[in-house]
Amino acid sequence: GPPSVVDLHQGSISYKENFVLLHKLMEFKKVNFTSEHIEVYNAVRDRVGERVKELFGAPGILPEMSFFSHINSSKPARNVHDEYWHAHIDTEQYGTFAATSILYLNTLGVDYSGGEFRFADDSTAAREALGGPSGGNWSSVEPVAGRLVAFTSGRENVHHVDRVSTGVRLALTMAFTCSEAKASSVLRWEGGGGSGLLEAEQEQS
């Protein structure tokens, strides 16, 4: 199946074949967030944001969506939308990303195998990844718990994740944007499982 995704800001989680309200699932499972969870999450997001500004010389860049991903090797893909390993460009997939960062939460070779992160090194590799002729070179990043990868989100950074062959791969993706309108729609997380945008959209439908 596809990676399971938790978006704290929107208050949503992928559950089986659908996205559901996170706070409803937490109520069902009888779990809750603590003040420490909230403090640590926001501190990490703030710290990563400062690092991204420094790395790219972009003091005005703003935090956008963030989500946890959980890739379980035991769940096979059922359709093309489940196939997370295809190469892509973040600005084309997500629209408003200017920079993308990924914080690894567990370690390749310890918690899982496969799942390396790969960048197209040259235009030939990039063209191949996007359906062109074969050839070109790729660079890989080995996921290690606590390692942060950050990159600009445009066509200069075509990338993909290798298939996870055993175990479970965990990561936190944090995006950044130059759009004030988009950034203002992603509120600081205050815990509680969030009712957020998803619930508002469901009430309007």
169 is catalytic: yes
CA 180 → CA 63, 66, 108, 154, distances in Å?
10, 16, 36, 19
Please tell me which residue in 45, 51, 169, 188 is annotated as part of the active site: 169
- 51 versus 83: which is more confidently predicted? 51
Distance CA 89, CA 82 (A): 17
Distance CA 22, CA 74 (A): 23
What is the pLDDT at residue 25?
84
- Tell me the pTM: 0.86
What is the pLDDT at residue 200?
38
Judge whether residue 147 has pLDDT over 90: yes
What is the pLDDT at residue 192?
56
Judge whether residue 199 has pLDDT over 50: no
Q: Which CATH architecture has domain 4-204?
A: Sandwich (2.60)
**Average pLDDT of the residues of the chain:** 86
Question: Would you list the domain boundaries of the chain?
Answer: 4-204
Q: Mean of the pLDDT values across residues 33-48? A: 96
Confidence of residue 109 (pLDDT cuts 50, 70, 90): very high
- 81 versus 110: which is more confidently predicted? 110
